[in-house]
Amino acid sequence: MRNLILTLLLITASANLQAQCDLITPLAEEGFENLIQTNEDGELQLHYENRRYRFEGLALQKVLEIIADTPCLSNSITLIIYNKGIPVTEIGTTKALIDDLISGTISAKEFTSSSSFDFTTKKKPKEKTTQSSYLKSDLAVGARTDYLLGNFDNPIRWTPMFLPSLQSTIAKGTQINTTFGVVLYDDLYNWETSRFRYAFASHNGRLPGGIFTRLSAGYFEQTQYGIEGHATKFFFGDQLRLDLNLSLTENRFLDTPPGRRAIDKNHFSYGFKATYRYTPWTTDLSIHYGRYIFDDTGYTVLLQRQFNEVFIGFFMREVDQQIVGSFGTLYDRNYGFQFTVPIGTKKHLKPNYFRPKTDEQYTLDYNYTGGVSIGRRIYAPGTVIAELEEYYPSTLQRALESLFKGH
Amino acid sequence: MNKPLTLLVACLLFATSISNAQSTIGTRGLVKAPTARMFEDGTLALGAAFIPPGYHKRTFGSKKGDVVPNAGLNTFVTVNLFPFMEIMFRYSHEINLPVTPITQYFPDRMFTARFKLLNETEKWPAVVLGMQDVVAFFDTNAAGGGSTPNFASTYLVATKNFNYKGFNIDTTLGYGSDIGDIPAKEFRGIFGGVEITTPYLEDTQLLLDYDATYINIGVQKQFFKRLHTMVSYYPNYQKVGWVLAYRYKMY
């Protein structure tokens, strides 16, 4: 009899603890979206999307802290991280490891080597999503500087501008993005005015076999109007990445500056890119070959290191056109470096139907040997493929190792 | 042995934390001479160095390479891109000289890459291969500077740390020379020096170096582990310069 009572008590306690393992409530309160929690065969699956933290590594750190604070019996835990409603990355770990990481019993390196990090092949479960990210809009303000070394009468030619933008995810993988450029000063182009820079709609997807896809239509940067498509496939985790991009556009202004006539000419551009990532140093070596949007054909080699949110890269471009640089110098190749740094706040306001925020990154290309109008591709900011580096398994591993460095 | 070399050898003989110096040329170094020290992987330094009149060399035109009465200002960004590699991008400005079609002046741009060949061990020093004004190796026509780099130098430098009665002495010895068609515009021959940290002043170091041309003296101090300041003194012309740099760890 006593054994029966003890067994009943244990079952009740276990059920109670299981009931307490509610990760949805604290994560929703924190501002995470597209939340789903499932418990099957002792494995807890947690699906989440982050738009609260500027960096996915920081978001993952917060999620792990919340899991450590929550009593859960399921030892096996799988985290599936989403972007625009698309499952991207998967982390397999245990509750014990998370507890040890947060308490400082083990180092982040021990945690990452004992857990699995990879792109996910899982689909979104049928369970109801808590706190959907759809039909919510962000009004973000970013900045951009177009820059070219000048000559003796004007050493630096530049066009700095603020970029207020409106971005919204309408449904799973479908988003719209509109950006206005407030030109502060222009002695690079000498015709640029404040105007709409781009307005496009994109559909992001993930095909069977883990191929990320994007199809966009609308007005893009460089006064390009038309459609573009992009496909990305990874091999060996994130060590090898292959990209294919296609676009059919024509020069057309969304908001034509006075006195500026759009050139009526279609561009078909394409490109293939292969990227090798040396994961211990989160360093990419890539080569892109293709026909670019201003009808130049050639290749771009880029060596780039990612330090969490900071990217520093060196590039070399060669196209079938001579490159005009400062002092009118003609170059066969375009050398330069580029960097991307985080801007704004690390943590945004909670996502809502309308949320003001700062943009997340500032990027500058420095062309050492001229050439701002060669090797240009259609860029669709804010899309899943454009943001993939933050979701790389090696990026998240390295982020945890640096964020938990003091442990 | 000439006077500067005698002084350098004397310092080495008396010579002993790892050095912190951000030199006037923008890379890790003493006052001017580079060392075999590197910051941690992922460290970024953004700074400026004032070069007093008498030390700054013109970087353009018919007087290219000559010492001019104007002072100079080196503005630089230095990154430890990999654990074994430091890169630096620098603009060298001549103060009080506007960029106009009349002056034909344009600030000099340069890249430097430094590679760690050996880490310091108990017995052996750290060794670095430096390639200053590396554009020379690619034969790229740098705007305004012509095709001949102004600060090209290829050198090997070794640094070893010693402790003596609580004093930390970081000693450096290097050698720079022409490589092929690329002439060494700086650090041609033997250079070196010491960085001394006393147990009495935290985050403060005394620097003494011989840059293969002049002897230079400096005192540096770090604030909040991020802000680096140095005041340099050039005995030959009794001039004073300075370095101000902000350090940021990207990881």
* B29-44 pLDDT per residue, tens: 999 999 999 999 999 9
Cβ-based contacts of B133 with chain A (< 8 Å) = none
Higher pLDDT, A241 or B57: A241
How far are the Cα atoms of A53, A191, A341 from residue A344, in angstroms, in the given order? 11, 29, 10
Burial class (CB in 10 A: 0-12, 13-18, 19+), B126: buried
* Ordered DSSP codes for A233-249: EEETTTTEEEEEEEEEE
Distance CA B118, CA B116 (A): 6
Structure confidence at residue B1 (pLDDT): 45
Minimal CA separation from A179 to chain B, in Å:
29
- The minimal CB distance from A152 to the residues B82, B106, B141 is found for B106
Which candidate in B39, B40, B81 is best for mutational testing of the A interface (most A CBs within 10 A)? B81
How far are the Cα atoms of B87, B164, B213 from residue B190, in angstroms, in the given order? 23, 25, 9
Query: At B119, which amino acid appears?
Result: N
Please, which contacts does A73-76 make with residues 24 or more away whose CB atoms are closer than 8 Å? A73/A14, A73/A17, A73/A18, A73/A21, A74/A18, A74/A21, A74/A39, A74/A42, A74/A43, A74/A44, A75/A42, A76/A42, A76/A43, A76/A44
Say if strands A116-119 and A136-151 run parallel, antiparallel, or are unpaired.
unpaired
Query: Cβ separation of B107 and A402 shorter than 8 Å?
Result: no
* Mean local confidence (pLDDT), B184-188: 92
Query: Cβ separation of B89 and A153 shorter than 8 Å?
Result: no
Query: Cβ separation of B251 and A402 shorter than 8 Å?
Result: yes
Query: Cβ separation of A155 and B107 shorter than 8 Å?
Result: yes
How far are the Cα atoms of A2, A14, A18, A19, A41 from residue A8, in angstroms, in the given order? 10, 10, 15, 16, 21
Query: Cβ separation of A310 and B250 shorter than 8 Å?
Result: yes
Residue B174 has pLDDT above 50, yes or no: yes
Structure confidence at residue B142 (pLDDT): 41
DSSP assignment, residue A390?
G
Nearest CA in chain A to B103: A152
Cβ-based contacts of A402 with chain B (< 8 Å) = 251
Residue B208 has pLDDT above 90, yes or no: yes
Distance CA A135, CA A132 (A): 8
Distance CA A17, CA A14 (A): 5
Minimal CA separation from B190 to chain A, in Å:
32
Burial class (CB in 10 A: 0-12, 13-18, 19+), A341: middle
Structure confidence at residue A4 (pLDDT): 53
Distance CA A38, CA A48 (A): 12
Distance CA A72, CA A79 (A): 14
Size of interface A-B (CB pairs under 8 A): 46
Give the pair of three-digit tokens for residue A331.
């170059």
Residue B11 has pLDDT above 60, yes or no: no
- The minimal CB distance from B143 to the residues A281, A310, A327 is found for A327
Distance CA A363, CA A365 (A): 7
- CA torsion sign for A317, A318, A321, A327 is positive
Query: At A237, which amino acid appears?
Result: G
Distance CA B111, CA B88 (A): 6
Give start and end residues of each alpha helix (H) in A34-174.
56-69, 95-103, 108-114
* Ordered DSSP codes for A102-136: HHTSS-HHHHHHHSEEEE--PPPPSSPPBS--TTE
Nearest CA in chain B to A309: B250
- A interface toward B at CB cutoff 8 Å? 149, 151-153, 155, 281, 283, 305, 307-308, 310, 312, 325-327, 329, 331, 335, 337, 368-369, 398, 402
- The minimal CB distance from A335 to the residues B82, B103, B140 is found for B140
- The minimal CB distance from B143 to the residues A281, A329, A398 is found for A329
Minimal CA separation from A286 to chain B, in Å:
17
Structure confidence at residue A16 (pLDDT): 47
Q: Give the lowest-confidence range in B72-86, B128-142, B154-168.
A: B128-142
Structure confidence at residue B19 (pLDDT): 57
Structure confidence at residue A3 (pLDDT): 59
Which candidate in A152, A309, A366 is best for mutational testing of the B interface (most B CBs within 10 A)? A152
Other beta carbons less than 10 A from residue A180's beta carbon: 18
Structure confidence at residue B104 (pLDDT): 84
Distance CA B80, CA A227 (A): 40
Structure confidence at residue B209 (pLDDT): 96
Burial class (CB in 10 A: 0-12, 13-18, 19+), A297: middle
ipTM field: 0.85
Quote the crossing angle between the two packed helices A56-69 and A393-403, to the nearest 10°: 70
Identify whether the C-beta of residue A316 lies closer than 8 Å to the C-beta of residue A333: yes
Query: Cβ separation of A308 and B250 shorter than 8 Å?
Result: yes
Distance CA A360, CA A341 (A): 8
pLDDT in tens, chain A (407 residues): 555 554 544 444 444 444 568 999 999 999 999 999 999 888 999 999 999 999 999 999 999 999 999 998 778 999 999 999 999 999 999 999 999 999 999 999 999 999 999 999 999 999 999 999 999 999 999 999 988 777 777 778 889 999 999 999 999 999 999 999 999 999 888 888 899 999 999 999 999 999 999 999 999 987 788 999 999 999 999 999 999 999 999 888 777 666 665 555 678 999 999 999 999 999 999 999 999 988 889 999 999 999 999 999 999 999 998 777 766 777 778 888 999 999 999 999 999 999 999 999 999 888 887 766 788 889 999 999 999 999 999 999 999 999 998 76
Query: Cβ separation of B251 and A153 shorter than 8 Å?
Result: no
**Cα angle A349, A355, A358; round to 5:** 70
Query: Cβ separation of B101 and A368 shorter than 8 Å?
Result: no
Nearest CA in chain B to A329: B143
The whole-chain average pLDDT of chain B stands at 87
C-alpha A22 chain-centroid distance: 29
**Share above pLDDT 70 across residues of chain B, in percent, rounded to a whole number:** 87
Which candidate in A369, A394, A395, A403 is best for mutational testing of the B interface (most B CBs within 10 A)? A369
Identify whether the C-beta of residue A205 lies closer than 8 Å to the C-beta of residue A173: yes
Nearest CA in chain A to B98: A152
Q: What percent of chain A is helix, strand and coil (3-state, nearest 5)?
A: 20, 50, 30
Nearest CA in chain A to B141: A369
Cβ-based contacts of B89 with chain A (< 8 Å) = 337
Distance CA A304, CA A287 (A): 11
Residue B243 has pLDDT above 50, yes or no: yes
3-state secondary structure of B219: strand
